[in-house]
Structures are given as structure tokens and as C-alpha cells.
Amino acid sequence: MTEKTRIYLVRHGEIAGSEIFRYHGQADVPLTPKGVDQYHQLAKRLQDKPVSACYTSDLSRCTRGADIICAGFGIKPHSRRELREMSFGSWEGMSWQELEKRFPDEWHARLADLVNYRAPGGENLLDLSNRVMPAIHEIEGRHRGEEVVVVAHGGVNRVILLNIIGAPHSSLFKIEQDYGCLNIIDYYADGNSVVRLLNG
């Protein structure tokens, strides 16, 4: 059997104000009590796994959960800025409805070109992928033969999963990532990779 790295890829728990969809991006939005509980449930699900390391976005909705998960393994999470959510620049904190009302032309331009459009001062999906994927490949290469937790965001996770299955970035929203979900990915030393669990 070819040596592999198993990554338990987690989306952060529920965040405050999640009942209205907003482009939070890299704003540091707090977890709800339910979001904290989702991390404790994830910790229980992973408690029997031989996890040797944990990497997390440096935003608090991820670092707090990484601390919860890591407590059971006696390890400390490594904070990585590269794992932050996509930046939406001046749009951060705004809802879809607000953007459609205030910036209708820009809003429709994004809907028409999800991959290439950048909100003012922000990133597009190619920027996000070019930031995230080198970090993921570094992590899986560094921990060959080990099992690792990565705590990140909906957009980040979708980009990672699309990369593995060879789907275009335009398929981003064909993959669901619920708050507090778990994905399991095996990266093999021969270059192959497999999604074992999606949005579990």
C-alpha cells in the first residue's frame, strides 16, 4: 500500500448572525454556543483517531475550535494565515440583499463570473486556490504516513475538495459544507488522492 497522509478537513462551527448570509470573508466573526458545541462533537468523533498534528486558519472561529479538538490529543494547533477564508474586500460584512441593492452592477458581475470576479480590494477563486493549495500540499507532504486535522472555512474547503476531484472552480457551490462538518481526504505518495467522506 502506498504511503498516505489522511487529512480530517473541518469547517468551523456556526457563527453569530448566520441566519442571514453575509460575506464575512476574513472578518473575525465569533462562534455561537451551538458552534462551540459542534467542535466538541467533532472532538468526540475524532478522539480515537491517531491524529499527530493540527493546522488552522488564524481567524478565531477556527482557532477556538482547533484548541477544543487538539486538547484531546495533547497537541497544539499550528495557525496558518493561508487557510483564511477568501477576502471579499469592501464587501465584507454585507448581505447578498445589501449588495444587490447598493452595487447591482458589481453584484451581477460576480454572479456572471464566480471564478474571476474580485470584490473591490478582495480576492477571486483563483487567488484563493493559489493561496490555499500550496499550504495543503506542504502539510500533506510534511506528515506523510500520518493523520492530521485542518480547520478552515466553507470556501477554503470547497476549493480543496474541487482540486482533489478535478472539478472546475465554477462548481464551487455544487459541494455543500455545513457548519461543523467533517471531510476525510487521503493523499497518497504516488500523487493520487481520494475523498473518503464529504460534508459528514
Contacts 24+ apart (CB under 8 A), 15-24: 15/61, 15/179, 18/179, 20/95, 21/95, 21/96, 22/93, 22/94, 22/95, 22/96, 23/88, 23/91, 23/92, 23/93, 23/94, 23/95, 23/99, 23/119, 24/85, 24/88, 24/92, 24/93
Residue 12 annotated to the active site: yes
Active-site residue, selected from the candidate residues 14, 82, 85, 92: 85
Please give the Cα distance from 45 to 68 (Å, whole number): 12
Is 85 an annotated catalytic residue?
A: yes
Catalytic residue (one of 12, 14, 24, 147): 12
Give the whole-angstrom CA distance, residue 83 versus residue 97: 27
* CA end-to-end distance (rounded Å), the chain: 26
**Contact (CB, 8 A) for 185 and 10:** no
- The catalytic site residues sit at 12, 85
